[in-house]
Structure 1
């Protein structure tokens, strides 16, 4: 009988709780118990009605009338809480901007009272504006009238606001303009909801920046186009390269650049320290230390610029793709999270490294200060973990408690909103494993067909029948050999003496990332000395040997293995550049 008046399908989608109306003669006395975990809402309602033998349609009608009004009121209250949380976050952002302006006023007042306020203001722009190279001047001439051309050494942009920066990074005092971008292409957008930071550098083999920007732009919902800002930070000091990338961005995304959705900045050369003088930390190679220290400084620069542009800052990399309506998803999850967990430090929308980490802009200055102190000690993903630990972990308690405490201040959204697609790392020679098969259509070797002619090739490494050294040197495939042992070698003997200027030997490929030349030196045999090879380099930790050579003619080059290897070995690239032969008279 009850089934005749209740349509289970119509109530199945409600998620609030309700209680049987017939227990009380007045709605005012109704209480709202929790639904047992093993019951869905429709089953819970049916059980209550049946247990009290309520079969009249009027009782059922009143029951669901109250339920509907309660569900609507609950939804309105939850929405109001989210709006208040968003308003609180935005007010904190505005307050941080106000404090920044106060700081500038106080600094100006101090200069005025000390009589030093205008001693160098008129010459700051000229101090560090180095003469432009002919290549840059030519680029600017060809780019006349474009927005990209107007971004070089702009005078209107202010110095970045970073506390204690000169004490922590004293090299910045060498140039009064060191914290001012060398390049700034902007549409003037500010007071956005979310600022998306995309640091990028010149990569060894393949750039993913345009793919990343395409996804970030196309996956925005219409509601987010006008209150989102994407800032591309080019971490290079070669101005011709910076101008080329900026022009490429303007060409591919003209509407987004004109509207101010996409901005491009780049630091001055004086912003970076002498990386060769940084102390060795974590037992890493000099190459890795330079890479991770620069990556940290790039993120610091980008965060310092972005902190005044919007309420939240989203940390990304230049080799990702985003899910549809990713900004809308971030906003909704952040609002609900702020209501239930208002003390979060950052929210994680992707578990990989420094991708998809959302900060409150008002709190960003704290992480910037922390990263300045330890930029040379830890990579960026470790810095994020260390920052959380130092905020909430008690040294007197077990590590398990620390992990639980960090999870409370780092809410995680699942599944990830961003997919990492980069195969070739910004750290030259390093390759990433790509989980998604559709991103694995990448070359297994890099052919060079103009290497100098050979007289012979010698090796004691057993070759794969298809992937031979001869074919690899000619650019037809890669070399694949059985596990090399200590003393194993690969020798290339040239038809006639050559003057080699540059060499590249790349081992491993995307399918076999561990098949590298480990503990292997690179040696050449001078033409004037046919008995002794001279060491000119070695394969690094990522299986790459690359360098310039400035010596006389050579007749052979050799790869010499110094220790037994547990893996097969692949040579995916062999490139030997030689100086042009002198013209005969």
Structure 2
């Protein structure tokens, strides 16, 4: 292990291109090594009072990074509870925010307000918001806690809002850090501490809920974002994922299984001085075998701050995929997808049914009678169906002649499961079709949705999106 740390230290002057592959190899080696080690590292400490003398930075460094082999155990930090206490019942979602004192502007209270205001009464029962006040200015923390307590007292009493702090003595050294990527010293210190802030926040949130959402402290939420999240999670049943993204900016809107939080917390601590947090999140995702980004549109969270927490510099980044009202997000039920249209490269049929950004089905010219079938795992009451073919840069690759059908009475055949009875809902017009009130137009729960090609065409076919809305509530995951 000591040799591995030395090898990392020697690479401090490498350029970004050469460093990232080596870091990935190093992290992989460490994770592989951790599988064979039983010893966990625990930070043994008793609760300390405000103002107690802190140990030296060198002692803190050794104290924090003693035995890095156990990636699954929690880090036994004694947190200060500044407002609220955890409830015994696990919630569906924890929303984590880390906040520090800014030179200009403070958006934390607006962010908390947006989370609660944009949630229904039923949704509020399923979330808990954890704020980590990660600034070492204790006077600032105390004043902010008073404001939070005054404005959100009922949420604190209901167990929906917790405010915590990891004491400074648990932090590793923030002096003499590696100057990777030619960042100035104060920038390296800021991003390195930020990694540790998030690590301690993740560690605290491990057992509070089934899922964890990472946000920043200057964010506006879309209406009923939790319902939209549940729709996506339900549609991903049976598929493997590590991180789902609901914003394309920074650390905003990153969703994890809570079971992965201990490993992510350890990971951020191990490499806290190597690179910014958003880069480390990409490496973590890849190490757990999620190769590609899984990001959904519309974005559910929007950056609203104008001044960064780093030196108060201007930061007016906006997510142009954000929509204030997320209620209309489709909730495609779990299903199997089949087609007899020749698929081009890896643009397979399942990508038309996915709501992931820039994924779609692409096939070679279809013939009369060719089909594209969606077979639900369970029958569903569908209220609306919308299908769009072609893309902005390939507007001719649409379905020029086709029909939309829905079916029931599924049967098993040698070719797989199919519906034995279909009715036609409508014809495609200019490559698209949208049918409202489907459940009122038919007298059965739908088991299959089928697109049928009704005439030969010379152009290739792109099915960009297949969107379905169901009438039953999204099942709560337990």
TM-score, with length taken from structure 1? 0.43
For the Cα contact (< 8 Å) 2:96–2:202, is it kept in 1?
yes
For the Cα contact (< 8 Å) 1:178–1:268, is it kept in 2?
no
Counterpart CA distance in 1 for 2:97 and 2:170 is: 18
For the Cα contact (< 8 Å) 2:247–2:319, is it kept in 1?
no
In the alignment, structure 1 residue 371 sits paired with structure 2 residue 268: yes
Q: How does 1:83-102 map to 2 (within 5 A)?
A: none
Q: How does 1:554-573 map to 2 (within 5 A)?
A: none
Deviation sequence 1:370-414 (CA, Å, 0-9, x none): 22221111101111112233344xxxxxxxxxxxx622xx42210
Give 1:429 deviation, angstroms: 3.8
Unpaired runs of at least 5, structure 2: 1-37, 54-62, 70-74, 321-478
In the alignment, structure 1 residue 325 sits paired with structure 2 residue 208: no
Which residue does 1:355 correspond to in 2?
A: 252
Would the alpha carbon gap of residues 435 and 413 (structure 1) be closer, same or farther in structure 2, given more than 3 Å must change? closer
Would the alpha carbon gap of residues 231 and 130 (structure 1) be closer, same or farther in structure 2, given more than 3 Å must change? closer
Which residue does 1:219 correspond to in 2?
A: 118
Would the alpha carbon gap of residues 390 and 421 (structure 1) be closer, same or farther in structure 2, given more than 3 Å must change? same
Q: Give the strand-richer structure, 1 or 2.
A: 2
Q: How does 1:180-219 map to 2 (within 5 A)?
A: 180-189=78-87, 190-219=89-118
Which residue does 1:166 correspond to in 2?
A: 66
Give 1:280 deviation, angstroms: 1.9
Which residue does 1:344 correspond to in 2?
A: 241
Counterpart CA distance in 2 for 1:197 and 1:279 is: 28
Which one of the candidate residues 155, 158, 182 is aligned to 1:256?
Answer: 155
Which residue does 1:243 correspond to in 2?
A: 142
In the alignment, structure 1 residue 417 sits paired with structure 2 residue 417: no
Unpaired runs of at least 5, structure 1: 1-102, 109-120, 134-162, 170-176, 393-404, 438-585
Secondary structure, aligned partner of 2:180: coil
Deviation sequence 1:348-375 (CA, Å, 0-9, x none): 0111011100000112222222222211
Counterpart CA distance in 2 for 1:316 and 1:436 is: 14
Secondary structure, aligned partner of 2:298: coil
Which one of the candidate residues 381, 406, 410 is aligned to 2:291?
Answer: 406
Larger RCO: 1 or 2 (CA < 8 Å, sep 6+): 2
Counterpart CA distance in 1 for 2:46 and 2:283 is: 38
Which one of the candidate residues 264, 267, 275 is aligned to 2:174?
Answer: 275
| Larger mean Cα displacement after TM superposition, 344-353 or 186-195 | 186-195
TM-score, with length taken from structure 2? 0.52
Counterpart CA distance in 2 for 1:221 and 1:419 is: 19
Give 1:231 deviation, angstroms: 0.3
Measured on the aligned residues, the alpha-carbon RMSD in Å equals: 3.0
Secondary structure, aligned partner of 1:411: coil
Give 1:421 deviation, angstroms: 0.9
Counterpart CA distance in 1 for 2:46 and 2:281 is: 35
Secondary structure, aligned partner of 1:387: helix
Would the alpha carbon gap of residues 168 and 202 (structure 1) be closer, same or farther in structure 2, given more than 3 Å must change? farther
Which one of the candidate residues 187, 190, 200 is aligned to 1:288?
Answer: 187
Q: What is the count of residue pairs matched by the alignment?
A: 267
Would the alpha carbon gap of residues 107 and 429 (structure 1) be closer, same or farther in structure 2, given more than 3 Å must change? closer
Give 1:186 deviation, angstroms: 1.9
For the Cα contact (< 8 Å) 2:77–2:170, is it kept in 1?
yes
Would the alpha carbon gap of residues 351 and 310 (structure 1) be closer, same or farther in structure 2, given more than 3 Å must change? same
Q: How does 1:146-157 map to 2 (within 5 A)?
A: none
